[in-house]
Structure 1
């Protein structure tokens, strides 16, 4: 049986990185939730964009990905579920994060289940998930889970990330939503192609028929 695949993209710049830490927690929680369903293996991969920064910049200029970047793009586009995590800089996603998704074909994530998450210094940046990340993936026609996860510096204390803490609750809720979408999309039939649209009546013809009536 083909395993379910979860790919987490981390745009953290430091080592260690709170962005990578959040990506790992979300990926592990989603793996556990996805494994709770019908017996099926689950594979997890985390892609660190900092390791691909130069390749991404070259791709932006030349239009051609390096082998390493091409392989990362293929992993993202083939995944059953995507977790996208960025640090928040100047009230939005990082330039590295945006550039990576800019070099992916704008139709490649159509219908893909996506969990969005971010890290920042204070909770007041959390709205960037809704005014920046969610519209980005909506434009790419991905299916974004309802719960977005933001982790401020104070969330990494025992009150936020410990058992029963607020961050833990958000992580588990978002992971359950993503796992549910993954199970559904993996069992769904293939999307209809352009040939299936032959019977659709163009809007102009429908409008003309209404006027004639």
Structure 2
């Protein structure tokens, strides 16, 4: 069973960001099913954790609900991450969510990137902002990222958007099935006995 976490940072409800996240998720599930794999999906609406994220930044500790969500994302086999584009980059709320993840939480994890905006001229934000950030986090980013401008939801442009979604989902699925995530060892799995730390027996 492949576990997929979906992080959507749309601010409105409903939002085009969540719509794109759902389309990417459905295409990935279909591609996995075609390859003989099953998937479970956990969706994270970042807007629901806005106050907890601020508290985490101020105190250094994640409230219980946020902690469970962060653990769910870190424990997934793959991640679909979608943000609205503001001022030529990802939203502050989207960035904050990934800022409070534990170091190396996404190391080796296949990631499919998506973004939405009012104009196609913001599409390069996927390459100059999102892709470098996830590369820094040691994630394995799918070659194709999907940007959806307002006009992409019009019936005349839907075919083009669908083709990009299918291509991205196929690449993401290949990463999930051909090169399963290499997980590091947890240093707390085998702790050193306290007496040994003190040098006593």
Q: Normalized against structure 1, the TM-score is what?
A: 0.84
Q: In the aligned structure 2, how far is the partner of 1:64 from the partner of 1:193?
A: 19
Higher helix share: 1
- Correspondences of 1:71-90 after superposition (within 5 Å): 71-90=68-87
Partner of 1:35: 33
What per-residue deviation string (whole Å, max 9, x for no partner) do you get for residues 39-85 of structure 1?
A: x4211121100000000110011111111111111111111110010
Q: Which ranges of 4 or more aligned residues in structure 1 deviate by more than 3 Å?
A: 188-194
What per-residue deviation string (whole Å, max 9, x for no partner) do you get for residues 99-151 of structure 1?
A: 00000022111110001110000000000000000000000010000001000
Q: In the aligned structure 1, how far is the partner of 2:61 from the partner of 2:143?
A: 34
Partner of 1:150: 147
Q: In the aligned structure 2, how far is the partner of 1:63 from the partner of 1:185?
A: 34
Unpaired segments ≥5 residues, structure 2:
188-201
Query: Once the 2 structures are TM-superposed, how far is the Cα of residue 93 of structure 1 from its aligned partner?
Result: 0.2
Secondary structure, in 3 states, of the residue corresponding to 2:108? coil
Q: CA RMSD in A?
A: 1.7
Query: Once the 2 structures are TM-superposed, how far is the Cα of residue 192 of structure 1 from its aligned partner?
Result: 8.2
Q: In the aligned structure 2, how far is the partner of 1:189 from the partner of 1:95?
A: 29
2:118 pairs with 1:116: no
Which of these residues, 159, 183, 189, is aligned with residue 177 of structure 2? Answer: 183
Contact 1:23 1:46 in 2 (8 A): no
Contact 2:29 2:38 in 1 (8 A): no
Secondary structure, in 3 states, of the residue corresponding to 2:179? helix
Unpaired segments ≥5 residues, structure 1:
195-213
Partner of 1:13: 11
Query: Once the 2 structures are TM-superposed, how far is the Cα of residue 4 of structure 1 from its aligned partner?
Result: 0.6
Contact 2:50 2:93 in 1 (8 A): yes
Contact 1:7 1:79 in 2 (8 A): yes
Query: Once the 2 structures are TM-superposed, how far is the Cα of residue 7 of structure 1 from its aligned partner?
Result: 1.1
Contact 2:8 2:83 in 1 (8 A): yes
Q: In the aligned structure 2, how far is the partner of 1:192 from the partner of 1:75?
A: 17
Q: In the aligned structure 2, how far is the partner of 1:9 from the partner of 1:166?
A: 23
Aligned length: 187
Q: Normalized against structure 2, the TM-score is what?
A: 0.89
- Correspondences of 1:101-140 after superposition (within 5 Å): 101-140=98-137
